[in-house]
Structure formats: C-alpha cells, structure tokens
Amino acid sequence: MRHHSLFPIFIASISVFVIGCSNAPPGFLPVNNNAAVFWDRQTTESAELLRTVAKEFNQEWTGLPIKVERSGTYGDIFRKITAGIHAKRLPALAVSYESMTNEYIPTGAVTPLDSLLADPEIGLSAKELSDYFPMMLETNRYATHDGTLYSFPFAKSLLMLYFNKRVLAHSGIEAPPKTWDEFIAQCRQVKKNTSNYAHAVSADCSTLNGMIFSMGGSVIEGRTTLYNTPEALAVFQIYETLFKEKLAYLISPGSYEDNIALSKGDIAFVLRSSSSLEDMKLLMQKDPDGWGLTCIPQRNPETPATVLYGPNICIFNTTEAQKRSAWAFVKHFTAPESAVRWSLKTGYLPVRKSVLTHPDMIAFWKKWPYNRAPFDCLTFARPEPNVAGWQQVRNLAARAVTEVMTGMRDATSSADELKHRADDALAQVADSSTLP
C-alpha cells in the first residue's frame, strides 16, 4: 500500500549532517556511468508501470537510458542520498519530498530546473508549462533559495474522507459528514448503534495540516509555525474528543490498520490520501458498492480546503548527459498521455490540467461515481510548507497527535508544545545553515 507522509525519525539527525555539508563544491559522480539511475520507492503494479514507461522512453531517447531502481522507503532513499552526497556519488534522479529536497539544496547536490525547462531541445514551451497545475509547480519552488525550481511534481495526492456505507446505514446515517461538527455527531451515532469505534487515527503531519486547512487555518507564516492558533487548536480538540469518548483509536505507525478495519466494517471513517483509492478497491472488491470517498469535513463547506501532498523528483548535479536524460524522462513521464495512464493505474492525481478532459479519464469517472471525488477537490487543495527543517516538524506533529490520542496531553498543551518544539526546530536549522 502507498503512503506519502511518514518518514523514519532518523531523518531529523541526518538533516544536521546534510546541512553541515553546505560548503561542499557542486559536481558529483553518477552511480552508473552507462545509465541515468532513478531511485524510487514504488511497489507492485505502480513499480511495474514505472519500469514500463521507462522502457518506452528508452526506445525513443538517444541519450543515456533511464534505469529505475527501487531503493526502499522514502526514508531509506533520503538516507542513501545523504550518504551519496558525502561520497560524492549520486543517481541521476530520485523521488523526494520538499522537506528532503530542502536538506539537499545547500550541499550543491540538486540541479536547478529552470534552465532545463527553457532548453530549446528538451524544455517546455509556454503552452506546455501552463498545462501543469500551478500549485503543483509552486510547491517545488523554494522561497528560501530564491524561489528556484529544484524539484518537479511526480506522484501527488489529496487528503480525503473514506467511509463505509453499510456502517453508516446501520447507524441511521444517510450521507457522510460535510462539517467537523457533523463528523463528531456521526461518530457518536455510530458508537451508540454499533458499540464500536467509528474512526481509526493515523498520527500524521499531513493529515493534521489538511484538517487545519479545512478549519480555515494555516500552519506556518515565514518560519514561525501556527500550531497553537484557534484553527489548529480546534483540530486537536477533535482528537481529544475522539479519544475521551472512545470514538476512535490510534493505529500502529506506518500501518494500514485503518483501511483494513474500514473494509471489514469495523469502523465508519478513514482519513487517507486519495492515492489509497486503488488499494481500497482491492480491499472492498467483495463489496464494491459498500463504500465511498469524499472531501474531508470542513468548518465552512462554502470555503473548502484540503492538503496536497506526495513526492516530487530531484535531478542531481552529476554529468550533463545524466541531467539531460533525467529531465527528458521527467518531461516524458508528465506528458498528458503518460500522466493519464499513471493516474488511472495508480490512483495518483495527474499533474497536467489537460488530463481532466482526456476521454480515458472521463470514462473512468463514469465507471464509478466516487472516482471523480479527488479531482473535484483539486481546485482548493493547498500544498504543505517547503522550508528547510520541515521534516523535523513532521515528526513532532505526528508525536503531538499521538500524545493526544493516548491521553498523554490535552489539546491545548499539545498544540502549545508542538508550536514551541516546531519553532525551535526551524530556528536551529536556520542557525545551522549559516555556519561556515
């Protein structure tokens, strides 16, 4: 199953090392002189499709061929890139979250993409560039690095609400909640009628951020976090209510116990990435009409918001031949025909606007009404921060949710503590990056 937002805690300590290499001269050797190696983390059908797309690209491209290598989890890839920076030997390209890319940039390891976009041979025309969703491009421009485009959108998704129709119907509920007040009320109704939990919580920063966005809030201003604002506190109070009234339980970190519980009818609701759609279809294949997904609840449905997340691609500063092959592949992979194919087969959202009018996409929407739900949320999706040090904040946010969902802290103290710890983490990174 796919997951886009949990990385191992060790990244926080590794980040200190990466920033400490800020004076490393640019220029790194490729891990393979005969191919442009792509380090990725896709598994099963997604991995097979990615290899197929690479094979098709190689048949047409006259430069170095792309070689896809699965390199473990996102955290594993971060560790390998970090080690590669130290050894000055890197792949041509790799998947990377913004929080990871921010750690690589000061080392000189990442290639700025603006010049490749403007390349007369393999660049993008103004018309092509305008076809990409603006917020997907903007989240790959790094304000603390002069707004330079250092990564490119690859596998994007949104936070959605998955629901079990059978459980809701058994509890006398006709439709999933549109507001957070309705969500809590329905959780209570499910609990009353089934004597079971209504929801299972994955302690995750992206989920927390998406909920704060849906409350009308933000999570950062400059390099100051906003985790103790009224909007953020309202989210922590939801978690506190879920815990105190035994309406939800906390799942094991990195697991998919919530999805499995939803498919079995043990719970009514799951908050997960839209890329879980295909996995949920497999889990619900014996009851395809017994579930659905929709926009997450909102404070005000008239002004909705959710979080946009998922990995991007970094191209590394090795040889010109490696960089040109890497970028040509990125361009090929995100072309409309490839983008619609990737989206339909994996559940990830396309990065191109023209995909939304593609006949195959329209047919996909007609096949099952809920297939369209994530796409209807694209216009109000908001990206997460891409400031240096955000990976440490992610770990702190997951810990804060865990503390509320285990009764270790109440909502107010958890929000205050998260804000304090997160601000300290960002400040330490800012101080470290200025060291000689």
Tokens of 320: 């010109």
Apex 344 CA angle, 338 and 347, nearest 5: 115
Contact 16, 432 (CB under 8 A): yes
Can you give the pLDDT at residue 431?
62
Can you give the pLDDT at residue 432?
59
Question: What DSSP assignment string belongs to 73-84?
Answer: SHHHHHHHHHHH
Q: What is the DSSP letter of 298?
A: B
Q: What value does the mean pLDDT take over residues 421-427? A: 96
Residues 6+ positions from 69 with CB-CB distance below 8 Å: 37, 38, 39, 40, 91
Q: What value does the mean pLDDT take over residues 356-365? A: 95
For the chain, which domains are there? Answer: 10-156+310-367 (3.40.190.10), 158-308+387-432 (3.40.190.10)
Torsion angles phi and psi, residue 326, rounded to 5: -60, -50
The 10s digit of each residue's pLDDT in 365-410 is 999 999 999 999 999 999 999 888 898 999 999 999 999 999 999 9
**Measured between alpha carbons, how far is residue 93 from residues 29, 168, 356, 407 in Å?**
13, 45, 28, 43
The 10s digit of each residue's pLDDT in 107-137 is 999 999 999 999 998 999 999 999 999 989 9
The 10s digit of each residue's pLDDT in 194-214 is 999 999 999 999 999 999 999
How far is it, in rounded angstroms, from Cα 419 to Cα 411? 12
Comparing 144 with 5, which gets the higher pLDDT?
Answer: 144
Q: Where are the alpha helices (DSSP H) in 160-316?
A: 165-170, 180-194, 205-214, 230-244, 257-264, 277-283
Can you give the pLDDT at residue 427?
93
Contact 316, 90 (CB under 8 A): yes
Q: Which of 250, 245, 296, 298 is nearest to 400 (CA)?
A: 250
How far is it, in rounded angstroms, from Cα 382 to Cα 205? 14
Contact 267, 200 (CB under 8 A): yes
Residues 6+ positions from 265 with CB-CB distance below 8 Å: 164, 166, 167, 290
What is the pTM assigned to this prediction?
0.88
How far is it, in rounded angstroms, from Cα 355 to Cα 340? 6
Element (H, E) at 420: helix 411-432
Q: How confident is the model at residue 26 (pLDDT cuts 50, 70, 90)?
A: low
Can you give the pLDDT at residue 74?
86
- Residue 328, classed as helix, strand or coil, is helix
The 10s digit of each residue's pLDDT in 230-264 is 999 999 999 999 999 999 999 999 899 999 999 99
Apex 77 CA angle, 76 and 80, nearest 5: 90
Other residues' Cβ atoms within 10 Å of the Cβ of residue 128: 16
Q: How confident is the model at residue 170 (pLDDT cuts 50, 70, 90)?
A: very high
Contact 202, 328 (CB under 8 A): no
Contact 283, 259 (CB under 8 A): yes
| Residues comprising the chain, all counted | 436
